[in-house]
Amino acid sequence: MTRLSVNLNKIAVLRNSRGDDLPSVDYAARVCVAAGAGGITVHPRPDQRHIRPADIDALKSWLPVELNIEGNPFAGPTARGYPGFMRLVERAGPAQCTLVPDADGQITSDHGFDLAQAAGRLRPVIARLKSWGCRVSLFMDAGARELERAADIGADCIEIYTGPFAKAFAAGDGGAQLQMCASTAQRAAALGLSVNAGHDLNQANLGAFLRGVPGVHEVSIGHALIGEAIYAGLAPTVSAYLRIIAEADPG
């Protein structure tokens, strides 16, 4: 069955807005795990506007489920205490790394890799991550060309960027985007790549997405889930997502 990995960045955004330790990223992770989440995702950025290296250190010390660290592998150290993506991953030893082509100041991930341009730079990075025991996922657009290069340079899986699907679904016309996601997933599977998905998935569109794109290994959901949890509570919201996954993806 599809695994739910909860992205905790928005908990850190709220904490950082006051400059103290509340709400606690660590405690939020414990609530998510107790509610049945199969993974925790964090996306530290060089400006440290949300998740920070210390958060990752704390999570790694106890987390019994998969830790997924997202980020641009070419982001280097900064004067603000960010050690650089690769050094942070080496220190943390996550089960999975999701690589994204974000610029340092980008608000959120909004496009996947163009492997016609990026494959050469990514190949040695992927090899290094895998030597540390990380499964490597590449953030890719639905309909992306060059998926063969993802397999050729050593990626284990892709994460389909689902933002365009979510936007079309909300407008009442998600069919074409859903089919594009499905065909991308099929092509990836044929190449031996696992398929993850993430960005703007929520309780309204997740079931339709999983029914339309069978075989998704993991969904990474943060912004919507944390927003919905403000009204319903964190544990009940995680449980609601798990019910949606079970109903759409009973295998």
pLDDT of residue 104: 72
Q: How many angstroms separate the CA atoms of 244 and 201, rounded?
A: 12
- Given the residues 199, 217, 218, 228, select the one marked as catalytic: 199
Interval 225-232 mean pLDDT: 98
Confidence of residue 81 (pLDDT cuts 50, 70, 90): confident
CB proximity list for 238: less than 8 A, separation 6 or greater: 4, 6, 31, 32, 35, 36, 37, 225, 229
- Given the residues 50, 70, 159, 228, select the one marked as catalytic: 70
Q: Where are the domains of the chain?
A: 3-248
pLDDT of residue 106: 67
Q: Is 151:191 a contact under the CB 8 Å cutoff?
A: yes
Neighbours of 24 (CB within 10 A): 15
CATH of 3-248, one of 3.40.50.720, 1.10.8.60, 3.30.70.1400, 3.20.20.70: 3.20.20.70
pLDDT of residue 249: 74
Confidence of residue 64 (pLDDT cuts 50, 70, 90): very high
Q: Which long-range contacts (CB under 8 A, 24 or more apart) does 178-182 make?
A: 178/208, 178/209, 178/212, 178/213, 179/212, 180/142, 180/143, 181/142, 181/209, 181/212, 181/213, 182/212, 182/213, 182/214
Q: Does pTM surpass 0.85?
A: yes
Confidence of residue 85 (pLDDT cuts 50, 70, 90): very high
CB proximity list for 173: less than 8 A, separation 6 or greater: none
Digit-coded pLDDT (tens) for 88-137: 999 999 999 999 997 777 677 778 899 999 999 999 999 999 999 999 99
Q: Is 199 a catalytic residue?
A: yes
pLDDT of residue 19: 86
Digit-coded pLDDT (tens) for 161-210: 999 999 999 999 999 999 999 999 999 999 999 999 999 999 999 999 99
Confidence of residue 83 (pLDDT cuts 50, 70, 90): very high
Checking if the pLDDT of 235 tops 70, the result is yes
pLDDT of residue 250: 64
Mean pLDDT of the chain: 95
Interval 4-23 mean pLDDT: 95
- Residue 39 is given by DSSP the state E
Checking if the pLDDT of 38 tops 70, the result is yes
Q: How many angstroms separate the CA atoms of 143 and 135, rounded?
A: 23
Q: Is 50 a catalytic residue?
A: no
pLDDT of residue 251: 60
Q: Is 43 a catalytic residue?
A: yes
